[in-house]
Amino acid sequence: MNHKQNLTPRERVLTTLKHKEPDYIPYDLGSTSVTGIHSVTYNNLLHYLGKDYLLKNRQQSSHYETLQGLAKIDEAMKRALKVDTRASSFKNSSAWKLEIKEMEGNKAFTDELGCIWISPKDGYYFDQVPGKSHPLANIAKIEDINNYNWPEPKDAARITNLRAELKKR
């Protein structure tokens, strides 16, 4: 068996996608919402590994995926753990900004579509508010859908710096 040695992460992933055998199986941590690590777990990992200096500047903006409470993995940790993948995604529109507020003693926010999400103050993730979480839940006519104030999909803010991010990969 001919093993390729010292592939770059990009080469490793591309080799795997071509159904060829790479030097080792590509490793993904935190580049999607299904391969993430919860922020509490990630902070505990940083502490366990003696990387407390990375904890000092972590805050709400350090979430990759707020609904599930997934952490944005620091680049230094990705390199140390030999993570082969990096996240690139569309941004929010310029008309919407995540604002977590208090609602009936809980944390809550309204997403770009108008859905309301709620979490206990010390909760780990957000759930939609039962019965009133989606603004289209009680739509009865096509005109109501046509008249809904949809987010602008072509908003340039959604792709700001995307090309530069992808070139770094």
Banded model confidence at residue 9, pLDDT cuts 50, 70, 90: very high
Residues 4, 57: contact at Cβ < 8 Å?
no
Give the lowest-confidence range in 58-67, 84-93, 104-113. Answer: 58-67
| Tens digits of residue pLDDT in 103-156 | 989 999 999 988 899 999 888 899 988 777 788 888 889 999 999 888 988 999
Please, which residues bridge with residue 71 across strands? 63
Query: CA geometry: angle at 65 spanning 19 and 96, to 5°?
Result: 120
pTM summary value: 0.71
